Structure formats: structure tokens, C-alpha cells
Amino acid sequence: MIQFQKENITVFQSALYVTTSAIIQTNNAVIMTDPNWLPTEVEEIKDYINKIIGDKQLYIIYTHSDFDHIIGSGAFPEAKVIASKEFDENPDKEESIERIKNFDQKYYLNRSYMPIYPTVDIVVSEDGQKLDLDSLTMTFYKAPGHTNDGLFTVIEPYGLFLSGDYLSEIEFPFIFSSYKDYVNTINKAENILLNHQITTLIPGHGTTTQIQQEIERRLNCSKYYLNQLLRDNGELVSYLSREYPFFEGMKGIHTANKEMANQAYVL
């Protein structure tokens, strides 16, 4: 289940949708993103946390409120939660919990904890907001477009970019909230890469990479897709089939993306 491990960084990978949970250790804290998916996977992450936590404080960064990213929240009641203002003010909190319960019912899954919508302790309300922990600094950027409550986190001096459901080699842009916001967020990601010394990209779905050319390729693929989406006459299907190995299971999302992009520019 461990996808990537180097020094103070460990990334767990779920069997479902190549969903990741990153764990970063400092002298006084442990930082985690989006504990997920299956009960046994959440328990494995919890066991790992218990081995390393000692008297350190656990922080969980929620990259956004999709139910697959908050599904493990109830397993870590001691954590201090970091998320965007929009995540905190989400009017559909109960719906998110219902989706978790429906998922578990559908697949006959039992959990050792009750699913809960995370209570946010540290609310990110603006781009560039910082949090200093021990010897590291976390800088946050709002990242709407996939959902309206997305959050980017840069952790320095480790050079980490926690990108949530953006910049994946597994998924092309999934635009569930706003096409224009998604375009702006990808531009924001480009500025982050220009203005921070990023050495490691950890997406919410897909593979962690420390290869600069791969990080740039993922950015450029997203930019190309978003640009072509407005003028696509069917050519993008071939492109997506080549670039994304599971595109057959994602065709409906591409169709919905086209509708959302076109609606964004309807007068």
C-alpha cells in the first residue's frame, strides 16, 4: 500500500482510484492528507501513525470535501484539521456523510469508527496564508474548479506540493465546480512551480513524482486539455485515450466537462 517513501515522507496508495494519503514527519508534528479509502487501508494508515506519533501533534490537511477524501476522518479524532474556508462552510456536509454510508452499504464494509465531516481547526481563507510548524512552513492556496473548496499546500523547505485532485497522470481535469475556476487554478499551480522550489509533487490520485519534466508534463497536459475543451469536435477522445490509461471508465466525465466549459461562455 505504500507508494512512495523517502526520508520523512510516506505516501499510502488505495486500491481504489489510485487515491493517496501523504504523511510528513517533523520533530514535533505529523502532517497527513486525506486518509482513505477502504477500512483496512485506513487501519493501516492509523497503525503507521500510531508507531511514529509519540507525543507529536497530528495535523490533517483536507484537500477538498469529496467523500472519498474525508472517508477516514472519524479514525483520527485527535487530529487538528486544516482546510479551506469553503470546506468549513460546506452546506452539503450531511450529504457527504450519506455518500460514505451508502458506499459502505453497497460494498458491505464495516468500519471501526463513525464517519464524520471534519471540524476545521485551522481555516484557510486566503492565498498565501502560512502556518509554521517546527522547522517547516506550510503555504496554502485556494484551488477551486474540481470542487469549490479545493486547497493546494506547499511545504518548505521540503519542496512538497500537495496538489489534491489536480496534476495527476491518472486523471485528466475533472471539472465538478467551475471551468473558469479550474483554468485559474491551473495557472495558479504554474505560478507555484515558478515561485517555490518544488522537488516533490504528491497528487490526490496518481503517482508521486520527483521528476521535474514529469511535473511540467502534467501541468502542460492539463493546460492543453482545458484549452482544447472549448473547441473540441471529438479529437480530444483520441488524445485522452493515449494519455490516460483508464479513460474508458472516464468518458462520461469528459462529456460533462465539455458541457460545463461551454456553459461558462454562454452569454
> pLDDT, tens digit, for every residue of 62-83?
999 999 999 999 999 999 999 9
The pLDDT of residue 127 is above 50: yes
The conformation of residue 208, written as its DSSP 8-state character, comes to -
* Ramachandran quadrant class, 183 (left: phi over 0; alpha: psi -120 to 50; beta: rest): alpha
Half-sphere exposure (Cβ direction) of 94: Cα atoms closer than 13 Å: 1
Specify the pLDDT at position 134.
Answer: 82
* Ramachandran quadrant class, 84 (left: phi over 0; alpha: psi -120 to 50; beta: rest): beta
Q: What is the pLDDT of residues 13-49, one digit of tens each?
A: 999 999 999 999 998 999 999 999 999 999 999 999 9
The pLDDT of residue 267 is above 60: no
Specify the pLDDT at position 247.
Answer: 95
pTM, rounded to two decimals: 0.95
Specify the pLDDT at position 135.
Answer: 87
In percent, how much of the chain has pLDDT > 70? 99
Strands 9-13 and 160-164: unpaired
Query: CA Rg, the chain, in Å?
Result: 18
Alpha carbons 16 and 204: distance in angstroms, whole number: 12
- Cβ contact 57:94 at 8 Å: no
Q: What is the mean pLDDT of residues 117-123?
A: 98
Specify the pLDDT at position 263.
Answer: 84
Specify the pLDDT at position 157.
Answer: 94
Q: Phi, psi (5° rounding) for residue 119?
A: -90, 125
Single-letter amino acid, residue 150: G
Specify the pLDDT at position 232.
Answer: 86
